[in-house]
Amino acid sequence: MPYRLMAMDLDDTLLTDDLTVTETTKEAMRKAIAQGIHLTIATGRMFDSARQIAGQVGLNVPIITYQGSLIKNLLDESVLYERSVPADAAVRLCEYCRERGLHLQTYIDDKLYAPEENDKLRTYAKQSNIPYTIVPDFASLVAASKNTKLVIIDEPAYLDGIMPELRDLMGPDVHLTKSKSNYLEALHREGTKGHALRFLAAHYGIPMEETIAVGDAWNDREMIEAAGLGVAMANAVPGLKELADYVTPVSNNDDGVRHVLEKFVLG
């Protein structure tokens, strides 16, 4: 199968643990682009954060951000696809977190907002290399805005425990997922990487059979299932490996993405 579109997650997939892309992987990506292959990023990060990395590796196509809630062109920053959390659901989540003392933050117009500064927020922002704004009247901001993505940060086991309750609270129009074990994210039900990959494939006139998706975490599930070839990294969560068509023999720290390119794209 000649694959023509490949979407790659960033953290723990394209990026090593020190948040860089190796030179050997960059070279493989350059060869694929030279052959006319469409390479894109599919990440939970905001556009501004993902754009920094896309520039480093020479991508020049629209990238998938916010778990699939926003597809934006790198060249002119035009928006191709956008979804936001329904306003009533965002308000319910804000109240739920306030009552339980949970840390909640939101993205509005590609900016990160939180009600107070703490270690959870600082660590999150440092990892993504992005600024943030503190808004004391956070509930009013959430209620009056288009929230692209809301994130609860807490202990993994606790987040797993409240997931069923939150699904009932948020309703069928909200998609809940985890990008990392301690990040529980709320998005529009069509704001998944799977929806975004399908949109981008149609945009280029590429059949889904000719697409590859590469990821490591549960938030990559929808695009792994949607792609013609779903690839899980060697360091992926067990559940994703079970769903994938192929599991790389090496991790994100050992050029896993380069391995996929050489095996399935470059020949």
Name the token pair of 43: 């990440």
Work out the burial of residue 13: count CB atoms within 10 Å of its CB; fewer than 13 is exposed, 13-18 middle, 19 or more buried: buried
| pLDDT for residue 55 | 87
Q: pLDDT-derived band of residue 58, with 50, 70 and 90 as boundaries?
A: confident
Question: Which residue, 172, 166, 189, 193, is CA-closest to 83?
Answer: 189
Q: Does residue 267 have a pLDDT over 80?
A: no
Per the model's pLDDT, the better-predicted residue between 178 and 39 turns out to be 39
Q: CATH assignment of 5-82+191-266, given 3.50.30.50, 3.50.50.60, 3.40.50.1000, 2.40.50.140?
A: 3.40.50.1000
Beta strand 183-188 with 38-41 is unpaired
What is the topology classification, in CATH, of domain 87-188?
3.30.1240
Q: pLDDT-derived band of residue 216, with 50, 70 and 90 as boundaries?
A: very high
* pLDDT cut 90: percent of the chain above it: 90
Q: Report the pLDDT averaged over residues 115-128.
A: 92
Query: What percent of the residues of the chain are helix, what percent strand, and what percent coil, each to the nearest 5?
Result: 45, 20, 30
Q: Does residue 1 have a pLDDT over 80?
A: no
Summarised one tens digit per residue, pLDDT across range 99-109 is 999 999 999 99
**Is 237 in contact with 218 (CB distance < 8 Å)?**
yes
| pLDDT for residue 127 | 83
Q: How far apart (Å, rounded) are the C-alpha atoms in residues 78 and 126?
A: 27
Examine domains 5-82+191-266 and 87-188 and report if their fold is the same.
no
CA torsion through residues 94, 10, 223, 204, sign: positive
The angle subtended at Cα 66 by Cα 63 and Cα 71, nearest 5°, is 35
| pLDDT for residue 163 | 94
Q: Does residue 62 have a pLDDT over 80?
A: yes
Query: Measuring CA to CA, how many Å separate 28 from each of 47, 83, 161, 211?
Result: 24, 32, 41, 17
Q: Report the pLDDT averaged over residues 135-145.
A: 96
Q: Report the pLDDT averaged over residues 109-132.
A: 93
Q: Report the pLDDT averaged over residues 198-204.
A: 97
Q: Report the pLDDT averaged over residues 254-263.
A: 97
Beta strand 70-72 with 79-82 is antiparallel
Q: pLDDT-derived band of residue 155, with 50, 70 and 90 as boundaries?
A: very high
Q: How far apart (Å, rounded) are the C-alpha atoms in residues 227 and 214?
A: 9
Summarised one tens digit per residue, pLDDT across range 167-191 is 999 999 999 998 888 999 999 999 9
Side-chain-side CA neighbours of 113 within 13 Å: the count stands at 22
Residues 6+ apart with CB under 8 A from 124: 105, 151, 153, 183
Chain centroid to CA 176 = 12
Q: Report the pLDDT averaged over residues 214-243.
A: 96
| pLDDT for residue 178 | 87
| pLDDT for residue 188 | 97
Q: How far apart (Å, rounded) are the C-alpha atoms in residues 52 and 23?
A: 16
| pLDDT for residue 225 | 97
**What are the sequence ranges of the domains in the chain?**
5-82+191-266, 87-188
Measured torsion, CA atoms of residues 121, 124, 125, 130, in degrees rounded to the nearest 10:
-140
